[in-house]
Structure 1
Amino acid sequence: MSSSFFLRGKSRQVKKRKGDRIQTKSKKTPPNLKNGHESSESDLEIKKFSDAEDSGSEHETAEQTKLRLAKKYLEEIEREEAKRAELKELDDVVEKRLQKDYLEQKGKLKTQVADSYVAPRDSDFRLIRAREHRLTLTCVCISNDGQFVFTGSKCGTIIKWGVKEKRKLGCITYKTHSKLLKGGISSLAITTDTKFLASSDQSPNIQIWDPSILKHSHTFKGHKDPVTGLVFRKNTHELYSASKDRSVKIWSLDEMAYVETLFGHQSPITSIDALTRECAITAGGRDTTVRIWKIVEESQLIFNGPVGTIDEVKLLNEEHFVSGSDNGSLCVWSVLKKKPLCTVNEAHGIDNDVPRWITSLATLLNSDVFASGSYDNKIRLWKICDNYRKVLPLFNIEVNGFVNCMQFTNDGRQLYAAIGQEHKAGRWFRIVTGHNGLLVVNFNIKS
């Protein structure tokens, strides 16, 4: 009987020959066991660093190596946590901005800052004069970033001022652009992104300029009488113009094209304003109405003002506005009511038994502060309270001449005013002692 191919019993002993080495398989240690104990999660994390980093000096003990890697691990955790905190902070900023934009769009954003204002001292005033503005200043506008200020005057010149540089940066003169400018500058407007500057004068035309180099870009033609007011819709290149021909026209600067015309006023329009919504608000002068033009709906809201002429109108926010009349009254309105919420009569006093008319208004948007100007040598600041139903005086700013136009900076810390010896729209009389210049007022605001 032949023996089986497979042998049972003890395995054959392999005899070691001289010069050979027998390799024995070491017993595998579980990956999470270290020196007979389970490794912690932190040990595993540290192991990651040991794979990527040099194990350290040959003279390092095991404890020193572990300590060094642990420090690196903690530094990595700190970096990750700092990044998370930075992202959370960014999310909070975005959330607050979106909430602010929403409230602003709804006309419900209102910051209470009036009580923080302190009457400026003599050192807080500065009157800037230029030989190119030898006649009355009629208008002023500030770039959205507060870096540049543009002024216009009756001598047909536009000056660009640098706020940081505190000097004149450029000038558009009647002599160099006699084919474009016809008489005194009546209004100026600049886009939110500072890409376009629009100007009007004693002609029916609107001139468009590049504000960075003061180069002429385009001329809009369409009005039949001189343009009295210009305003850009916020964050757009959509321009609204008001004219003595009693119409409002809309222009697109992206296409450099005319869009449409709005009719309704029964007398020359004296003032125009707009914010973010696709709406414009205008004062109709002697027809004693303020009109809000809802452009998308192709409709208008009519507000009947006091007897006389409504010369000025400015939006406080999307839901409220203030108007000024030639009978000296200031009115605060809501877009939901046809009558004023409150009225300040003879706001700038009386001259020879006649109330001084309101020549300019400036509002600090979405706040409880606005300013009014006349020819009583004072700019008056006002506080709105009791849910827009009451107006209280804050303080007066001494000036010398007609206050023809004013604008606050976005942070409310400065007010720029165009001052002149005559009213911006005519020459009924002249203040001989008045100055033709740009008044800069710095406000002290309590924190």
Structure 2
Amino acid sequence: MQDSFFASTRKRKRSNQPSDRTKNTVAGNATTAKPRRAPKKKDESDDEADGPSTLADMNLEASEAESSEEEIEETAAEKRVRLAKAYLDKIQHDMDEDLGGFDAADLDRDLIAERLKKDDDEAAGKIHRRIADKFDFTSIDDTKIRSCRLGRGNNQTVTAVVLADNGQFFYTASKDGSIIKYDTTTLKKLHTFPGGRKGAKDYIGHTQDILALALSSDHQYLASGGRDKLINIWSVKDNTHIATFSLHKDAVSGLAFRKGSNQLYSASHDRTIKLWNVDERAYIETLFGHQDQITAIDTLSRERCMTTGGRDKTARLWKIVEESQLVYRGGVTTKDADGSERILYAEGSLDCVAQIDEDIFVTGGDSGAISLWDINRKKPLFSLSAAHGLNTTHSESEGDIDTPYWITALACIRYSDVFVSGSWDGFVRVWKLAADNKSFQQIAQIPVQGVVNSLQIKTTFPSKRTILVIGVGQELRLGRWLRVKGSKNCAKVVELPIKKSSHPIENVPV
């Protein structure tokens, strides 16, 4: 009887050549051939017919060719375990490089837990970079703040600035309808899109104040919008005009490209938000809800955007896919410090917004207060009154009158604990979020003379430089009643230095 140990589970292929016995039978008398054996059913074993009958018939040495043909099936659970082990090995390798090759046994388990949490927050679009303490703000002085003048004939207020993600160039826009492209390192003027005379027909460009700029994350398109109700799309590479969108019925006050996409959001004083597909040069849809002029708009990578509605005192989160919106009521009041209920300053308008991550954003307005919001709460997590101080004016009838400096611009380093704000008090102020993301405090101020109408701050890639671009003018972006003495219409560039003991800051992947 054949031992089951030596039984082969592999089926041998039958030879297509006839055997010697068959040949003889065919050549001789066909009637003498044995009757053909009936075929076996599929569920019957072929071991007896096809398997080796003796030990000599077996090849106990498996060849490499046969072993390579056998495929090892992997279950879904085993695959997850294998990928998890590979992921942890990669984390261990990265930490060994950062910590100088420490042995794994010497590493604290909290380091791995912290890295896992960071990766999870990054995937969810939450804050995962705590970098505020890495900057050396004490070394920033007037010599580190570089200015680029607009040039002859461009003496209008700078209303908007936008910085490329790679930090190589930036754009400025002004009330004369012109757009200027600069090299960030040398501040050399690279190109100018001139503005046209007000009321000019068939002019390629803007004929009135430009109020907003936006740059796509792939550095392919530049979008500009202004009081002439137009949105112009420009080619960054060729410095040419591509298209004009003209569906808004009032001034275009805000523009934002969705991160990682060429989907454009535009906000207008006609109280609507419009969506555009720039690749197809097509209009998508219109969003309604604000009860006053929309003053600012911002967006990140998800298909949603955040807006402020001016004197309707609301910020709104627009969920495009769900076709819904969340409303956040502003109207922050500053009461007397002596404990009485007397209101000193009340928020009458929300003028600017900046999304820090997918869940947290900040707003500012004419009350001088900066408010920190969570999208899951209807009231601010934290509000700082008179964030830029008080402006004292003298009246013959009432004496000295203190009014807060408006918050005219906000910007942040995406997915980090750093954001900046501007007004006309003479400083751009840098703020740091608390560890629990429920409050913030000032950590630095950068001297800037004039009205700060626009801010952009980014950690560029691959140079890993953190650059702040400031648009400065003599009057407000949306008004002309304010004049700051001694100020100039220009753009300022500041590179935030890193402390010598700190590692370079990593950029956020698109």
TM-score (norm 1): 0.76
The residue aligned with 1:325 is 365
AA in 2 matched with 1:263: F
Q: Distance in 2 between matches of 1:187 and 1:117?
A: 29
Q: Contact conserved, 2:368 with 2:388, CA < 8 A, in 1?
A: yes
Q: Contact conserved, 2:212 with 2:226, CA < 8 A, in 1?
A: yes
Q: Contact conserved, 2:253 with 2:294, CA < 8 A, in 1?
A: yes
Counterparts of 1:30-429 in structure 2, within 5 Å, are 103-119=121-137, 120-131=140-151, 133-175=154-196, 178-306=203-331, 307-352=347-392, 353-411=402-460, 413-429=466-482
Q: Distance in 2 between matches of 1:203 and 1:188?
A: 14
Measured against aligned partners, the alpha-carbon deviations of 1:117-144 in whole angstroms (never above 9, x if no partner) come to 2221232111111215311101000112
Give the secondary structure class of the aligned counterpart of 2:122. helix
Q: Contact conserved, 2:388 with 2:425, CA < 8 A, in 1?
A: yes
Q: Distance in 1 between matches of 2:115 and 2:296?
A: 31
The residue aligned with 1:441 is 494
Q: Contact conserved, 1:105 with 1:318, CA < 8 A, in 2?
A: no
CA apart distance, 1:202: 1.1
- Going from structure 1 to structure 2, the CA distance change for 1:136 and 1:291 (only over 3 Å counts) comes to same
Q: Contact conserved, 1:377 with 1:401, CA < 8 A, in 2?
A: yes
Gaps of 5+ in 1: 1-87
Q: Distance in 2 between matches of 1:105 and 1:256?
A: 31
CA apart distance, 1:414: 1.6
Q: Contact conserved, 1:273 with 1:281, CA < 8 A, in 2?
A: yes
Q: Contact conserved, 2:473 with 2:488, CA < 8 A, in 1?
A: yes
Q: Contact conserved, 2:148 with 2:187, CA < 8 A, in 1?
A: no
The residue aligned with 2:103 is none
Q: Contact conserved, 2:209 with 2:228, CA < 8 A, in 1?
A: no
AA in 1 matched with 2:471: A
Q: Contact conserved, 1:105 with 1:277, CA < 8 A, in 2?
A: no
AA in 1 matched with 2:490: G
AA in 2 matched with 1:377: G
Q: Distance in 2 between matches of 1:124 and 1:106?
A: 36
| Greater displacement, 323-332 / 117-126 | 117-126
Measured against aligned partners, the alpha-carbon deviations of 1:214-259 in whole angstroms (never above 9, x if no partner) come to 2110011211101000000001110000000000000001211000
| Greater displacement, 380-389 / 309-318 | 380-389
Q: Contact conserved, 1:321 with 1:333, CA < 8 A, in 2?
A: yes
AA in 1 matched with 2:173: G
AA in 2 matched with 1:363: C
- Going from structure 1 to structure 2, the CA distance change for 1:440 and 1:338 (only over 3 Å counts) comes to same
Q: Distance in 2 between matches of 1:183 and 1:92?
A: 56
Q: Contact conserved, 1:189 with 1:231, CA < 8 A, in 2?
A: yes
AA in 1 matched with 2:482: F
Q: Contact conserved, 2:475 with 2:482, CA < 8 A, in 1?
A: yes
Q: Distance in 1 between matches of 2:302 and 2:375?
A: 13
Q: Distance in 1 between matches of 2:167 and 2:118?
A: 20
| Greater displacement, 366-375 / 103-112 | 103-112
Q: Contact conserved, 1:329 with 1:343, CA < 8 A, in 2?
A: yes
AA in 2 matched with 1:329: A
Q: Contact conserved, 2:427 with 2:446, CA < 8 A, in 1?
A: yes
Aligned residues: 358
Measured against aligned partners, the alpha-carbon deviations of 1:414-439 in whole angstroms (never above 9, x if no partner) come to 20000010111110121131111111
Q: Distance in 1 between matches of 2:365 and 2:480?
A: 18
Q: Distance in 2 between matches of 1:400 and 1:188?
A: 23
Give the secondary structure class of the aligned counterpart of 1:174. coil
AA in 1 matched with 2:454: C
Q: Distance in 2 between matches of 1:167 and 1:391?
A: 36
| Greater displacement, 334-343 / 102-111 | 102-111
AA in 1 matched with 2:364: G
Q: Contact conserved, 1:370 with 1:381, CA < 8 A, in 2?
A: yes
AA in 2 matched with 1:397: I
Q: Distance in 2 between matches of 1:97 and 1:166?
A: 38
Q: Distance in 1 between matches of 2:214 and 2:496?
A: 24
AA in 2 matched with 1:250: L
CA apart distance, 1:279: 0.2
The residue aligned with 1:76 is none
Task: Give RMSD over aligned pairs.
Answer: 2.3
Gaps of 5+ in 2: 1-88, 95-113, 332-346, 393-401, 503-510
CA apart distance, 1:165: 4.4
Q: Distance in 2 between matches of 1:354 and 1:223?
A: 35
Which is higher, the Rg of structure 1 or of structure 2?
A: 1
- Going from structure 1 to structure 2, the CA distance change for 1:167 and 1:92 (only over 3 Å counts) comes to farther
TM-score (norm 2): 0.67
Runs of 4+ in 1 over 6 A off after TM superposition: 88-93, 96-101
CA apart distance, 1:145: 1.4
Q: Distance in 2 between matches of 1:196 and 1:98?
A: 36
Q: Contact conserved, 1:133 with 1:437, CA < 8 A, in 2?
A: no
- Going from structure 1 to structure 2, the CA distance change for 1:122 and 1:179 (only over 3 Å counts) comes to closer
AA in 2 matched with 1:117: F
Q: Distance in 2 between matches of 1:104 and 1:374?
A: 32
AA in 2 matched with 1:354: T
Measured against aligned partners, the alpha-carbon deviations of 1:366-403 in whole angstroms (never above 9, x if no partner) come to 11111110010110111110412221111111111000
